[in-house]
Amino acid sequence: MDNKSVLEGRPALERQIAVIAEVAGYLWQKGWAERNGGNITVNITEYVDDGMRALPAICPPVRTGVVLPHLKGCWFFCKGTGKRMRDLARYPMENGSIIRILDDCSGYEIVADNPVMPTSELPSHLSVHNDFVRRGLPYRASLHTHPIELVAMSHAEKFLRKDVLTNILWSMIPETRAFCPKGLGIVEYRLPGSLALAEGTIRELEDYDVVMWEKHGVFAVGPDIMEAFDQVDVLNKSARIYIDAKCMGYEPDGMSQEQMHEMAVAFNLPE
């Protein structure tokens, strides 16, 4: 392993990687990241300087099979395939890598620090980022994780109809509506890593910042990785309250529609 990290002398980039590691630690602590579960991909292009751009690749180029023209010149930090979130929390540059998109946008090459192959789901994460750049959105982070209570609720067909789960979760505590104002999109069960799952996710991200993958996990996006995490945390808190109420033997009333409307007005939320 190289002893000099690309992060040395680049405090802004180093800080971004430290925040990614912090979030990876939270995912593990919450029990949402068993074994190698979950993925993180962050667009770090704004932190890349000329010195970094001049660095050689440390592995041969990898063609992903999809051409993503809006990612020309982009750089990403990605969790490594098969790597554990709990390890990434302690040693981010040994359990993830920094990649740059090839000039013809047909793939990527690893630049630093170690030849850690990115997540198997990289093509779908990159497709999502390509869509953000195309739409001119300030979103830089994508996160996939397995939040226990939200996944449990995705096993009931009655919750999966459009915005049913969103309304239940919003009604559990006022903050959920305020801090997750778009709610939770739903993608019906698809094979992990499949094109169909990626396409369904991109479609739902037009309306939502957090998307449930039925019986699997969530995919969340945000301007930075901490905000993506916060949205999942807020939604899962509501799911936990719902389930705890059910475990006490009753159906929770939830806030009334009037109370939710009052919140929307007070916080200037879309209705």
Q: At its nearest, how many Å lie between ligand 2HA and the CB of residue 8?
A: 29
To the query of whether residue 121 is one of the catalytic residues in this protein, the response is yes
Q: How far is the CB of 78 from ligand 2HA (least distance, A)?
A: 11
Q: Would you list the DSSP string of 12-68?
A: HHHHHHHHHHHHHHHHHHTT---TT--EEEEE-GGG--HHHHTPPPSS--EE-S---
Question: In this chain, which residue has its C-beta nearest to ligand 2HA?
Answer: 192
Phi-psi region of 167 (alpha: psi -120 to 50; beta: other; left: phi over 0): alpha
Q: Which does 252 bind (CB under 5 to 8 A by kind): ligand 2HA, Zn ion, none?
A: none
The two tokens of residue 21 are: 């590691």
Residue type for 25, please?
G
121 binds, among ligand 2HA, Zn ion, none (CB under 5 to 8 A by kind): ligand 2HA
CB neighbour list of residue 6: distance below 8 Å, 6 or more residues apart: 13, 52, 55, 93, 98, 111, 112, 113
The encoded tokens of residue 207 equal: 């309306």
Q: Under the rule (CB under 6 A), what is the footprint of ligand 2HA?
A: 36-39, 119, 121, 144, 192
Binding mask 210-229 for Zn ion (x = CB under 5 A): -------x------------
Cβ nearer to Zn ion, comparing 185 with 217 = 217
- Compute the distance between CA of residue 74 and CA of residue 44 in angstroms, rounded to an integer: 8
Catalytic residue among 22, 121, 157, 258: 121
Q: Is 147 an interacting residue with respect to Zn ion (CB under 5 A)? A: no
Interface with Zn ion: number of residues (CB under 5 A): 1
Least CB distance to ligand 2HA at residue 217 (A): 6
Contacts of 2 (CB under 8 A, 6+ apart): 113, 114
Q: Report whether 100 contacts 74 (CB < 8 A).
A: yes
Q: How far apart are CA 18 and CA 89, in angstroms?
A: 8
Q: Using CB distances below 5 to 8 A depending on partner kind, what does residue 96 bind out of ligand 2HA, Zn ion, none?
A: none
Compute the least distance from the CB of residue 268 to ligand 2HA, in Å.
36
Task: Give residues with Cβ within 8 angstroms of 253, minimum separation 6.
Answer: none
Which C-beta is closer to ligand 2HA: that of 69 or that of 192? 192
Q: Tell the smallest beta-carbon distance from residue 193 to ligand 2HA (Å).
A: 7
Task: Name which of 7 and 235 has its Cβ closer to ligand 2HA.
Answer: 235
171 or 201, CB closer to ligand 2HA? 201
Cβ contact 193:125 at 8 Å: no
Kindly list the catalytic residues.
Answer: 121
Binding site for Zn ion (CB under 5 A): 217
